[in-house]
Chains A and B, each alone.
Chain A
C-alpha cells in the first residue's frame, strides 16, 4: 500500500525551513533577521556556556638538574683554575682543563673525562718565549643532530632546544671518542655534540691550524669570518688528506665557489693562519651558505690579546660563561660570557627528518625549500631557547663589577638586544675597539646578521648603568624572537641576575608565574592553556567542547537537505509522485 505524500510536501518544506533557520549557527543568519526574530519571539532561554576543562599539568622536567659530579664548583684541574659555574647546567671542567692545556698535554684520566681525542686541541711550541704555546691545532668534526633514522620514527642523536623541540641541525663539534649518544639506551646526544659550534679562543699571533674532519654525509668547509687569514695558502699550507686531493685548489677562505673545493664526506680540510688583530669573530660553513649556516654550522671565534703566560680556554662548548678567561680579559673584567644568537627554520630543519637518502634531502633543501618564502621559527641563545637558556646562559653578576659580554648574531634576521635593569656600554663592533670617547651606552643594541658586539655590563647602581639588583630580562626586542615557533615565552630570552637573586642550585629566584609548565613538552607543543596557573578556578583554562552545538549542526544539515530535496521535487518533478 502506498501513502500519497504529495499534499504533505509544502507544509513539510515549511517546517524543515523553520527548523533549519533556528538550528543554523547564529553567525550565519543576517543580524537584522535575528533582531526581527527576537522582536517577534523574545529572547532565547539561558544556557550555560561550556565549563572549563580540568587540566592537570603533565610532569615537568627538572628545572635545575642536581650537580651530582660537582662540576659547578670552582676547581683546579691540570693547573687550570676553573671559575664556579654561574648557571645550573655547568660545562665539564675536565674538558675546560683539557682544551686549555691541550689534549696532547693532559693526563689520560683528564682526557677520558673530557670525551676528547688526544689530537683534538694540540699545543705546540712557545714561539715568542712568553710562557704559553703559540702553535695550536684544533680538530673539528661535523655532526647531525635530530636527524632521520631508517629504523625508528623519531629523530636520532637528539638535542632539544626547548622541552620536546628537536629541530634537525648540523654543527661543528670537537673531535671526540665513543658513542654519539649519552649511552646505548637513549637517543640523546652526548654533551659535546650540540649547537652552536664551540667558541674557539686563541691568542693574537698564534699559528693556528684548524682541521675540518668531515664526518658528515655532505660536503662542508669553514670560512673564518673576520679572522685574519690569507686567501691562498702559498706558505706550505693547507694540505688536504683523503680522497680527491688533486681536485682541491689551495684557497683558505672556505667559499666553495671562489676559494677551495669543500671537504667531501670522510675527508679533511686544513686551514692555517696567524691572526694579527684581536677581537670577537665568527666562523661558519660556506657551502650553500643559505642552508648550511642556518642548519647551525656556525661558531664564535675569539682572538685574545697576546700576554705572557696566557692560556685562553681554546674551546667553549655551547658558548656561555667563560670559566677560564684570558689574561687580557681578567685585567679588566670580573667575568666573561660568550653569547651566540642564531635562528632556525622549521621547514629547513625538517628536510633532514623526512628522508634517509641524502639525495632526497638535497632536493628538499636546495630546490624545494625557498628561503625567500620562509621565516625563522626557532630563536636560540647558545643553542637553546627559553627556558633552557636560563639553565646555562644565565648572566650572573655581582654589584660594582665589570662583566664582559661578547655577542654574535649568526641568524638570518637582525637582533635588537635589550636589557632590563641595565644599559650596557658597547666597546667593540665586529671585534674592533671603538676607542675612548666612541664607546656608547644603549638599552637597545642592534646586531646585524654576522655582527659581533662586545659590551660591558657595569653593575654600578647609578641609574645610568644599572637600576639595582634583581632578575633582569635580557632579550631580543623583536617579538618573534621571544617565541618558540610562536609560543611565548620562548626564543632567545635570558636573564641578567645578581647573585643575591640566584638560588643555591644556580637558578634565578623568579617571582610571579609558576615555571613548571615551561618545562613541559606539552607547553611548547601548544597543548597547555598559557595562563593555566593564574587562576585555579579555571578562568583562563580551555572550555570543554559541548556536544549540543554539534547535534544542532547535524539537525541543521538534515533539515536544510530535506528542505532542498522537497524544493527540488516541487520545482522539477511536479506531478510525478501522484
Chain B
C-alpha cells in the first residue's frame, strides 16, 4: 500500500513537472500571438497577426503560416525571395533609397497612405540611440538600443532618428510592412559608425506588432531587438530586452545542480506527504 502510494505520487510529480516545462514552451508563441488581444478570437484578426515575423525570425520553417499572415498578397513569396536587398545582380528598382558615406535609408515613406488608412492619425517622432552602452542595463547582452518598444496608433506616421554611437555599423530594420508600399515589407536605416540617419514610415490600420532589429549577425540575438506595436498590437515578440523573456532561455547551472534541485523538490514532496498522512490520522 505504502510503496504504491509513493509511486503514484512520484509519477504525478514527474508528470506535472514535465507538463509544466512543456506548458512554458508552448505557451510562449500563443501568448505572443494573443496575449493583449481580448477580442482576438475573431479569426480574421488572428490571421492578420504578425506571427509571420515574431518568434520565428530567420527560420525557414513555417513558410506557409508566414504567407497566411502577410498583410497584402501583392507580391508572392518567390518575387520577394529573390529581390532581397543585396548582393550581386539583384534588382533594386523597387526601392526608394539613399546610400552615402553615412549609410543607407531604404523605403522611407512620409506621404503614401496605406490602403486601409484615410488619413494620418498622428505623428510620432522617436530618437533611437544604438550602441554597446545601451546593452549595459540588460545582462547577457552586448549590443543595445535606447528604446525597444514603440507603441503607436493605427495609421500613424513615425519619424525615426537613428543615432549610432558605436564605431561600427548598426541597423534599424522594420519587417512585415505592406509590400505595396514597402518593397519586401521592409523599412531600413543603416548607419555607419557614429552616423545619424532618419527616415519616416506610415503604419497600416490593423492591430499588429512589427519586428524592429539590427540584422548584422548576432546583433539581434545579443540585444538589438524591438517592436512597433500598432494599436493593441498582436502580442509581444519574444526575446526583447526589457519587454519579453528569451524564448529559449540560457541554462546557468550544471547538471548536478539541476538534478539536486529536482531531488530537493521530490524530497520536499515526500516529507509533505508524510506530514500530511500523520495529521490525517
Q: What is the interface of chain A, defined by CB distance below 8 A to chain B?
A: 69, 71, 92, 94-95, 108, 111-115, 117-119, 141, 143-145, 147-154, 156-157, 175-187, 189-193, 213-217, 241-243, 264-268, 355-360
CB within 8 A of B66: which of A95, A153, A185? A185
The 7 closest A-B pairs by CB, nearest first: A115-B87, A183-B84, A242-B167, A266-B166, A217-B142, A92-B88, A357-B140
Q: Which residues of B contact A180 (CB under 8 A)?
A: 215-217
Complex: A119 Cα to B92 Cα, angstroms: 20
Interface pair A215/B169, CB less than 8 Å apart: yes
Q: Output the nearest chain A residue to B142 by Cβ-Cβ distance.
A: A217
Complex: A144 Cα to B252 Cα, angstroms: 22
* Given A92-B87, A178-B86, A179-B215, also A185-B166 (CB < 8 A): no
Interface pair B88/A149, CB less than 8 Å apart: no
Whether, in the assembled complex, B192 has its beta carbon less than 8 Å from a beta carbon of chain A, the answer is: yes
Whether, in the assembled complex, B101 has its beta carbon less than 8 Å from a beta carbon of chain A, the answer is: yes
Most chain B beta-carbon neighbours within 10 Å: one of A71, A111, A157: A157
Whether, in the assembled complex, B104 has its beta carbon less than 8 Å from a beta carbon of chain A, the answer is: yes
Interface pair A187/B239, CB less than 8 Å apart: no
Which residues between 210 and 248 of chain B lie within 8 Å of chain A, taking CB atoms?
215-219, 221-222, 238-239, 246-248
* Given A177-B104, A213-B193, also A356-B250 (CB < 8 A): yes
Complex: A215 Cα to B248 Cα, angstroms: 24
Most chain B beta-carbon neighbours within 10 Å: one of A214, A357, A359: A357
CB within 8 A of B168: which of A94, A112, A157, A267? A267
Whether, in the assembled complex, B81 has its beta carbon less than 8 Å from a beta carbon of chain A, the answer is: yes
Min CB–CB distance A211 → chain B (angstroms):
9
Complex: A527 Cα to B140 Cα, angstroms: 38
CB within 8 A of A153: which of B80, B215, B248? B248
Q: Which residues of A contact B185 (CB under 8 A)?
A: 184
Whether, in the assembled complex, B85 has its beta carbon less than 8 Å from a beta carbon of chain A, the answer is: yes
* Given A108-B99, A152-B57, also A113-B88 (CB < 8 A): yes
Interface pair A266/B84, CB less than 8 Å apart: no
Q: Which residues of B contact A176 (CB under 8 A)?
A: 87
Q: Which residues of A contact B145 (CB under 8 A)?
A: none
29 contacts across the A-B interface (CB closer than 8 A): A94-B88, A112-B90, A141-B169, A141-B216, A149-B248, A150-B238, A150-B246, A151-B55, A152-B56, A153-B248, A177-B99, A178-B87, A179-B215, A180-B216, A180-B217, A183-B86, A190-B87, A213-B167, A217-B222, A242-B166, A242-B167, A243-B132, A243-B133, A266-B168, A267-B168, A356-B221, A356-B246, A358-B142, A360-B251
Interface pair A242/B85, CB less than 8 Å apart: no
* Given A181-B215, A183-B184, also A267-B250 (CB < 8 A): no
Interface pair B250/A145, CB less than 8 Å apart: no
Most chain B beta-carbon neighbours within 10 Å: one of A152, A154, A156, A177: A177
Interface of B (DSSP majority class): loop
Complex: A264 Cα to B168 Cα, angstroms: 11
Min CB–CB distance B138 → chain A (angstroms):
11
Complex: A145 Cα to B58 Cα, angstroms: 13
CB within 8 A of B85: which of A69, A179, A193? A179
Whether, in the assembled complex, B175 has its beta carbon less than 8 Å from a beta carbon of chain A, the answer is: yes
Complex: A405 Cα to B8 Cα, angstroms: 71
Complex: A181 Cα to B100 Cα, angstroms: 22
Complex: A185 Cα to B249 Cα, angstroms: 24
Interface pair A355/B217, CB less than 8 Å apart: no
Interface pair A145/B132, CB less than 8 Å apart: no
Q: Which residues of B contact A157 (CB under 8 A)?
A: 58, 217-218
Whether, in the assembled complex, B131 has its beta carbon less than 8 Å from a beta carbon of chain A, the answer is: yes
Whether, in the assembled complex, B143 has its beta carbon less than 8 Å from a beta carbon of chain A, the answer is: yes
Which residues between 41 and 81 of chain B lie within 8 Å of chain A, taking CB atoms?
53, 55-61, 63, 66, 77, 80-81
Number of B residues near A (Cβ < 8 Å) is: 64
Whether, in the assembled complex, B190 has its beta carbon less than 8 Å from a beta carbon of chain A, the answer is: yes
Q: Which residues of A contact B80 (CB under 8 A)?
A: 183, 185
Interface pair B143/A360, CB less than 8 Å apart: no
Min CB–CB distance B185 → chain A (angstroms):
8
Interface pair A152/B215, CB less than 8 Å apart: no
Q: Output the nearest chain A residue to B165 by Cβ-Cβ distance.
A: A266
Interface pair B84/A179, CB less than 8 Å apart: yes
Q: Output the nearest chain B residue to A214 by Cβ-Cβ distance.
A: B168
Whether, in the assembled complex, B186 has its beta carbon less than 8 Å from a beta carbon of chain A, the answer is: yes
Q: Which residues of A contact B85 (CB under 8 A)?
A: 177-179, 183
Q: Which residues of A contact B247 (CB under 8 A)?
A: 150-151
* Given A176-B87, A184-B175, also A241-B167 (CB < 8 A): yes
CB within 8 A of A358: which of B167, B184, B192, B222? B222
Interface pair B167/A187, CB less than 8 Å apart: no
Q: Output the nearest chain A residue to B97 by Cβ-Cβ distance.
A: A112
Q: Output the nearest chain B residue to A191 by Cβ-Cβ distance.
A: B87
Interface pair A156/B88, CB less than 8 Å apart: no
Interface pair B239/A95, CB less than 8 Å apart: no
Interface pair A117/B192, CB less than 8 Å apart: yes
Q: Which residues of B contact A153 (CB under 8 A)?
A: 248
* Given A243-B132, A266-B166, also A185-B246 (CB < 8 A): no
Interface pair A114/B87, CB less than 8 Å apart: yes
Complex: A359 Cα to B138 Cα, angstroms: 13
Q: Output the nearest chain A residue to B106 by Cβ-Cβ distance.
A: A178
Q: Which residues of B contact A69 (CB under 8 A)?
A: 88-89
Min CB–CB distance B252 → chain A (angstroms):
7
Q: Which residues of B contact A217 (CB under 8 A)?
A: 142-143, 218, 222
Complex: A175 Cα to B175 Cα, angstroms: 23
New contact pairs (16) apart from A356-B140, A357-B140, CB-CB < 8 Å? A118-B100, A144-B217, A144-B218, A147-B217, A148-B221, A151-B238, A151-B247, A157-B217, A177-B169, A178-B87, A178-B188, A185-B60, A215-B217, A242-B166, A267-B166, A358-B140
Interface pair A152/B88, CB less than 8 Å apart: no
Q: Which residues of A contact B143 (CB under 8 A)?
A: 217, 265-266
Most chain B beta-carbon neighbours within 10 Å: one of A157, A184, A358: A184
Interface pair A187/B142, CB less than 8 Å apart: no
Complex: A111 Cα to B101 Cα, angstroms: 13
Min CB–CB distance B142 → chain A (angstroms):
4
CB within 8 A of A178: which of B101, B175, B190, B239? B190
Min CB–CB distance A138 → chain B (angstroms):
15
Q: Which residues of A contact B252 (CB under 8 A)?
A: 357, 360
Q: Which residues of A contact B61 (CB under 8 A)?
A: 152
Q: Which residues of A contact B90 (CB under 8 A)?
A: 112-113
Q: Which residues of A contact B186 (CB under 8 A)?
A: 184
Complex: A215 Cα to B246 Cα, angstroms: 22
Interface pair B132/A264, CB less than 8 Å apart: yes
